[in-house]
Structure 1
Amino acid sequence: MKELVRTNDPTVIAFATALLEAEDIAVFELDVHMSILEGSIGLLPKRLMVRDQDHFIASAILRDNGIGPHG
């Protein structure tokens, strides 16, 4: 798996996930439960991961929709 996006913004995560799932690209979200450690202040970023073979096309889809590699 390769990292596609790293961000603190939950709207970016939701938008990116929706875009990729619409194209049948499997997305896995990491660091979802880190808010337990940080006290729910949104300090630690979440990461979206995709399969290695989907990374190129997923990056292009997000770039075309204004989402960069780090939110």
Structure 2
Amino acid sequence: MRVVAESTDPVRISFLLALLRDAGLPCIVLDAHISAVEGGIGAFPRRIAVAAEDLAQARRVLREAGEAEA
């Protein structure tokens, strides 16, 4: 698995997941349950990961959507 994006913003994470899934790319959110440890303050970013073989396509999809950071 390779990380393609990270954010502390749950809305942005949801948006990025939708972009990747709409493109047919399986993806997962890493650190999704860290809020139980951090107390829900949003200090730790959630990371979105895809399979290594999907990395180039995932980066292209995010870049085309204006998410160049990813």
TM-score with structure 1 length normalisation?
0.91
Shift of 1:19: 0.8
The number of aligned residues is 69
Unaligned runs of 5+ in 1: none
Unaligned runs of 5+ in 2: none
Residue aligned with 2:40, SS: coil
- For 1:34, give the aligned amino acid: I
Deviations 1:34-61 (A, max 9, x none): 0011110111000000000101010011
1:39 is the counterpart of 2:39? yes
Shift of 1:66: 1.5
User: Which residue is equivalent to 2:15?
Assistant: 15
Shift of 1:11: 1.4
Q: For the residues of structure 1 that align with 2:49 and 2:35, how far apart are their CA atoms?
A: 19
Higher relative contact order (CA closer than 8 Å, sequence separation 6+): 1
User: Which residue is equivalent to 2:27?
Assistant: 27
CA RMSD of aligned residues (A): 0.8
